[in-house]
Amino acid sequence: MSYFSLKEFVQKLESEGELVRIKELVSPVLEISEITDRVSKSPDGGKALLFENVEGSQIPVLINAFGSYKRMQLALEVNDLDDIAKEIERFVKVAPPTGMIEKIKMLPMLLEASKFPPRMTTSAPCQEVVLTGDAVDLSKLPILQCWPDDAGRFITLPMVINRDADGKIRNVGLYRMQVFDNKSTGMHWHIHKDGAHFFHEFKKRNQKMEVAVAIGADPASCYSASAPLPYGIDEFLLSGFLRKSPVPLVKCKTVDLEVPASAEIILEGIIDPNEAKVEGPFGDHTGYYSQDGEYPVFRVTAITHRKDPIYLTTIVGIPPQEDFYLGKATERIFLPLMRLHLPEIVDMDMPMEGVFHNCVIVSIDKRYPMQARRLMSALWSMGQMSFVKTIMVVDAEINVSDYEKIMDLLLERFFQKNNLFFTEGILDVLNHSSDQALYGSKVGFDATDKVKGELGFEDKSDLTTQDEIEFDPESAKNMFEEVNRFLLIRRKNGTQLLLASLDKTKPGQSADFIKTFFENAKFPGINFLIVFEGHIDLDDTSRALWKFFANLDPQRDFYFFGNRVGIDVTKKYPEEGYTQDWPEEIEMSAEIKQRVDQKWGRLFPSEN
């Protein structure tokens, strides 16, 4: 049986040992974030947390509910996320029936599919309490301020529900909402999202837009709101498919929209296309603060909720965080749909450090020359994949999650003909690395075996030359005052990768350092040099990879010296052609860290 509500999911988490109830008094301003950040970075994502005693509110806070593979599988009621993909393949691979017998055989599948659409109901736990007029007060909700430099408190896991201007197409999406006052929030829908598209339709007509927000619904519906569905496909239909039962919906009290009847909290309201307000900054899933900007204002006309609601929320920041596991579900669920368009795809992996849109690894069944490049171009024209900055393509037999193997392949084949493919295109609005906002350069790495007819097929050269002069990181550091540290990584195939942390204080400094290093005859065996900012811990591989993908603008940051390459992933300055505002990394304040340190034993007494 599918979960009817979030509460049933909470009960399941507790019965599986996946939930920790915290009775210690905590603040929704920064403290919950610091506690959750530590837990989400523990092995396997830690546990879901239910804070039962939150300052300023009578409502408990549930967070990290989806923050592990196990909890994501429990949420979608499968033993493995790939089980959903296999079921989708049953539907998308059905050949058209050619006779009566084939039609009869298809009948059970068609009957099953007919169960998915949402259904209307009059039984609505989400409307047990109805607040309108002066009773509307967002301050009664335990809304978090996640990070020190956030502009305020943000609703971070809202299911935002609206329709297009003609009232025909429904959209459900996750868009952060900054609380401006007790009755209004921002509506941060990105320029590329369906919500923004619908809003601009209303703006053209100078019509007010009705919006409803569900906070805490059944887990399948919560996930579906995050899914990158094609335009016009109802997210509640996907939720019904995942639940194996229709999502019960109920009419709102003050707007003409339908919301999940079993939700914990509903916000109803209006957006006037002529009203905008500065929203942000906000510590985002990229690990950086996203910039402020003008966004529509959501005016709340009603708050409805259960008699005893739970406030479901999340935090985002430097990975790993809870959103990684939501993204993994999307990766597995949507793989069969990608294969419909690109049947050569075998598997796909979105590394945690790539924060969804910075890196994707794809394996293919390669049959003809330049097929990997064709695949890259196709992916860069496909929905949410169009935002991806780095694509790596490997052969079918390669495990896309074996990062060590893939690293060796990339380094070994980096300079083979046509293995490196630069292009330009749109980028996610949160991408800060490109010189301009919203678009920039991308790079594809073809690490597949060459086939006959492909340039480089007969070229067996590689980068396995040995360093005739032993590289001494400490001696090299003495030659470069601005370098804090060198870290030499020798791969199994003989290639040598050198990482450097550099105190960059002026424009062009890192580029000059790369040039000087490769022109020095003392370092002939270094094939690859990657330059990071001075504060980066080079021993923390995950953090270094996150920084690499986050700060890279491929065409700008690659420097080639024959069969050697330097890559500059340091902060860029306006004098270097950078026109955006380089954001700050997310970091919790020392005061909050100390406060949580003092509470830790009381928060998790069973660990003592």
> Annotated active-site positions, please?
284
For residue 161, which of 218, 236, 228 has the smallest C-alpha distance? 236
Total number of residues shown for the chain? 608
Q: What is residue 227's three-state secondary structure?
A: coil
Residues in CB range of 226: below 8 A, 6 or more apart: 174, 326, 330
Q: How do strand 177-181 and strand 289-290 relate by DSSP bridges?
A: unpaired
What is residue 198's DSSP assignment? H
Q: What is residue 526's three-state secondary structure?
A: coil
Largest CA distance in the chain: 81
Distance of CA 6 to CAs 62, 143, 217, 312, Å?
A: 10, 18, 5, 9
DSSP string, 90-158: HHHTPPPP-SHHHHHHHHHHHHHHTT-S-EE-S--GGGSEEEEGGG--GGGS-PBB-STTSSS-EE-S-
Cα angle 342-344-347, degrees, rounded to a multiple of 5: 95
- Name the phi and psi angles at 150, rounded to 5: -60, 150
For residue 80, which of 322, 285, 335 has the smallest C-alpha distance? 335
Residues in CB range of 324: below 8 A, 6 or more apart: 67, 352
